[in-house]
Amino acid sequence: MRLETPLKRRDLLDRSQRVAMVGASANVLRPSYFVFRYLQTHGFEVTPINPGYPEIEGRRCYPTLEAYAHEHGAPDIVDVFRKPHDCPQVVREAIAVGAKAVWFQYGVINDEAIRLAEEADLDVVVDRCMKVEHARFDGGLSIAGFDSGVLSSRRRRSVR
């Protein structure tokens, strides 16, 4: 089911802990690195999935979702930082390992991959950023994606 409303996306983030980030990068200038670090520091267990690295920021990097799931079980969310034409295969792997949701980052749009995920009854988020959505719900960003001006030393209570 495609999660098109903010309330549905917030619910997904609130009930999720383990994120397998397909296409994570060790390059600090890449968006996937920034999102990886943000999610790690905000209560998520984020594991990089990229055959090009042995580890990122001290976290073992797995070459495939299958290798990750063999050791950790199914991820709650598969966060996808890949080119759109790679997405159907990523979704097939996510389905095979029993993932509960697939999150396609900004610009990662592939109709076949979305259809495959929805047909497998996965929660699907398309053309959104997990970091931006989480920060927005946590008081760090407004609905437009800008700083809300809310200052607090307290983080929103988590239900994890």
Phi–psi pair at 148, nearest 5 degrees: -80, -15
Cβ-count burial 4-17 (b if 16+ within 10 Å, e if not) = eeeeebbebbeebe
Provide the mean pLDDT of the chain: 90
For residue 147, what are the CA distances in angstroms to 1, 137, 143, 150? Answer: 30, 12, 9, 8
pLDDT per residue over 92-102, tens digit each?
A: 999 999 999 99
**Under a CB-based contact definition with an 8 Å cutoff, are residues 57 and 36 in contact?**
yes
142: pLDDT strictly greater than 50: no
pTM, 2 dp: 0.86
143: pLDDT strictly greater than 60: no
Q: Which domains does the chain have, with CATH numbers?
A: 6-137 (3.40.50.720)
Chain position carrying tokens 């690295």: 53
